[in-house]
Amino acid sequence: LRRRGQHRARAASAARAAGGVLGGILGEYVSLPQCLGTNNAESEFGKLEVAIKQQEERASQAENMMNTMREMLESKVEEEKNANAQLRAEMEELKRQIGFAQDSHSQAVAQIEATKTRLQLKVDTLTRELTAEKESVEGLEERTNRHVEELQAKIQPRAAEASQLRQQRQLMQGEVRRLTDQVVAIGEEKAAVTSQLGTMAEVSGELRRHIAAEEEERLQLQDQLATLAAEKEQLQARIATGQAAEGNLLKQRALIQEEVARLTRRVVGAGDEQAAAAGQCSAALAKQAELESRVKAVEEERLQVEGQISGWKAGSAQLEAELAAARGATAEVLQQRELVRGEVSRLTEKVVESEADKDMLRGEIAARAAGAAELLGRAEEVRGESAALEERILAAKEEGSQLEAAAGERERERSRVLAQRSMMQGEVGRLTDKAVEAAGTSERLQRMFAATEEESSRLWETAKALETRKLGLEERAAAIESDRGKLSKRIQSLFSEMQGLEAKAATAEGDKSQLEEELKGIKKKQEELLQELARCTKDAQVIASGA
């Protein structure tokens, strides 16, 4: 139709152009008689000839224009024919599309009827399901209320137990504070012991250096003894001459005995002081200077005595045997000391289970004390050997007094070992009592903690059961929400189908009223479905709020 209108407009404009040309030609012929009525005939005839020529030219132009117009009109007519043929084809296509639209409309009507039937069935099914779900939710709510009442009835005795536990909490806090104070005291004791260990380490290092020096001197003295043993055979030949000097030596015997007694008292005093230093670590540094001064004095005396070595070689073999016996006794005492230390270590390992840090420090103190005692023992040994060598050199005829001094020294060492053993046994007993007491307190606290943990586990299981039921209700609410979403999608698809039907109905004029009625019915059904969906949503919200 649009093309036909365009062709008609073009034809009208061409006709108007042709009419204008003919009007111009006719106007020239109409003005010709006016030219003939003039006075100047010649000029008029000349003008007439010019006008005729112009008219001829115009006539030829008009003829050309007419030919052009004829050709143009023919082409326009041909275009109109083609346009009419195209319009006829379009009309046929429109008729075919209208038939197809009518068929589609009938199919859509059938589909709408089937969809309405399916939707009605689904709505009925959903209504039944929602009714059953509502009944189950109501039953579940009743069961939940009963369970809540049961839990409240159980919580009341638990509240009484909780109040009792809160009352016991103060006792436990007091016990914890007491244990904390003990831990703080142990920490302070640990710091003090650590400082004592540092002091003992310094003292031990100093003693090791002194012992190394004494050991070197002892080796030198042993070398001198070996030299003296080699010289013994040579000196036996000189014994006869020495007997002559024996008288003079007898005169000096009293002086020598006094000197030996003085040296013995010094050695015994040094041993007692060293034993006291082993038991009192804090006084070791103060006594160290005294020991060093005494060692220097002994060194000076030893240097003075070395000048008299040549005259005291007679009983060296017998004295060596006695020295070996004394060493054997000392080794036996040391073995007993090691047994005592082993027993103390075994008991200490048992005590470590309750007071690990404290006993570890005490074990370290014991080890350091044992090391210090061992170092002191070695120092005593070296000094004893030095004294023995000096006594062997100076006391050739004082065998009895020297043996008595050794026996007294062994007796004093034995008494010191026994005193240390009794002290260690008392300490072990005290630590054992503390360990037993701590174990009892720990067991009582563990029982109380186990009861509290059991009650907490029961309450936690109850809470988990309630949480599980809540999750079940939430899952059901989610299922209802999912069904609501599916129903919304179905409504949207139905709405889209309705829009498609409305689009098809716009092209079909005959079935417009029927489609409007069907659309009204579909919209009414849609409103009903929306109301049902709102009711389902409200029920789901009520269920969720109840959960």
Q: List all residues 6 or more positions away from 282 whose beta carbon is below 8 Å from its beta carbon.
A: 196, 199
Q: Is the pLDDT of residue 451 over 80?
A: no
Q: How far apart are CA 389 and CA 218, in angstroms?
A: 9
Beta carbons of 522 and 112 less than 8 angstroms apart: yes
Q: Which two tokens stand for residue 205?
A: 């290092």
Q: List all residues 6 or more positions away from 224 whose beta carbon is below 8 Å from its beta carbon.
A: 309
3-state helix, strand, coil in the chain (%, to 5): 95, 0, 5
Q: Which two tokens stand for residue 451?
A: 């009861």
Q: Is the pLDDT of residue 4 over 60?
A: no
Q: Is the pLDDT of residue 36 over 50?
A: no
User: In Å, how far from its chain's centre is CA 182?
Assistant: 33
Beta carbons of 333 and 418 less than 8 angstroms apart: no
Q: How far apart are CA 387 and CA 381, in angstroms?
A: 9
Q: What is the mean pLDDT of residues 113-125?
A: 76
- pTM for this prediction: 0.20
* Of 383 and 63, more confident: 63
CA angle 288, 290, 294 (to 5 degrees): 115
Q: What is the mean pLDDT of residues 376-381?
A: 60
Q: List all residues 6 or more positions away from 405 whose beta carbon is below 8 Å from its beta carbon.
A: 264, 268
Q: How far is residue 521 from each of residues 120, 242, 514, 527, 528, measured CA to CA in Å?
A: 13, 155, 11, 10, 11
Beta carbons of 480 and 133 less than 8 angstroms apart: yes
Q: How far apart are CA 217 and CA 389, in angstroms?
A: 11
Q: Is the pLDDT of residue 296 over 50?
A: yes
352-367 confidence digits (pLDDT tens): 555 565 566 566 556 6
**Phi/psi at 230 (5° precision):** -70, -35
pLDDT for 416: 65
**For the ranges 143-157, 267-281, 485-499, the one whose mean pLDDT is highest:** 143-157
Q: Which two tokens stand for residue 192?
A: 């003090």
* Residue at 396: amino acid letter: A
CA angle 11, 15, 16 (to 5 degrees): 120
Beta carbons of 211 and 382 less than 8 angstroms apart: yes
pLDDT cut 90: percent of the chain above it: 0
Q: What is the mean pLDDT of residues 170-199?
A: 68
User: Is 237 in a helix, a strand, or coil?
Assistant: coil
Q: What is the mean pLDDT of residues 37-60?
A: 70
**Phi/psi at 460 (5° precision):** -65, -40
Q: How far apart are CA 372 and CA 389, in angstroms?
A: 25
229-251 confidence digits (pLDDT tens): 676 666 566 656 655 555 565 56
pLDDT for 32: 40
Q: Is the pLDDT of residue 329 over 60?
A: no
Give residue limits of the domains in the chain: 2-105, 119-154+456-546, 186-451
Q: How many CB atoms lie within 10 A of CB 466?
A: 14
Q: How far apart are CA 495 and CA 488, in angstroms?
A: 10
pLDDT for 406: 56
Beta carbons of 533 and 505 less than 8 angstroms apart: no
pLDDT band at 149 (very low <50, low <70, confident <90, very high): confident
Return the C-alpha torsion angle 469, 475, 476, 478, nearest 10.
150
Quote the mean pLDDT of the chain: 63
Task: Find where tokens 């109905």 sit.
Answer: 505
Beta carbons of 158 and 326 less than 8 angstroms apart: no
Q: How far is residue 334 from each of residues 201, 266, 365, 417, measured CA to CA in Å?
A: 22, 23, 19, 9
- Please provide the size of the chain in residues: 547
Task: Find where tokens 């069904």 sit.
Answer: 483
DSSP string, 176-197: HHHHHHHHHHHHHHHHHHHHHH
Q: List all residues 6 or more positions away from 80 whose beta carbon is below 8 Å from its beta carbon.
A: 4, 7, 11
Q: How far apart are CA 127 and CA 400, in angstroms?
A: 125
Q: Which two tokens stand for residue 198?
A: 């540092």
pLDDT band at 85 (very low <50, low <70, confident <90, very high): confident
Task: Find where tokens 């420090």 sit.
Answer: 361
Beta carbons of 316 and 367 less than 8 angstroms apart: no
Angle of helix 41-236 relative to helix 2-30, nearest 10 degrees, comes to 150
Q: How far apart are CA 12 and CA 25, in angstroms?
A: 20
Q: What is the mean pLDDT of residues 401-423?
A: 60
Q: Which two tokens stand for residue 168?
A: 């016991």
For 144, half-sphere exposure in the C-beta direction (CA atoms, 13 angstrom radius) is 18
DSSP string, 498-531: HHHHHHHHHH-STTHHHHHHHHHHHHHHHHHHHH
User: In Å, how far from its chain's centre is CA 37?
Assistant: 128
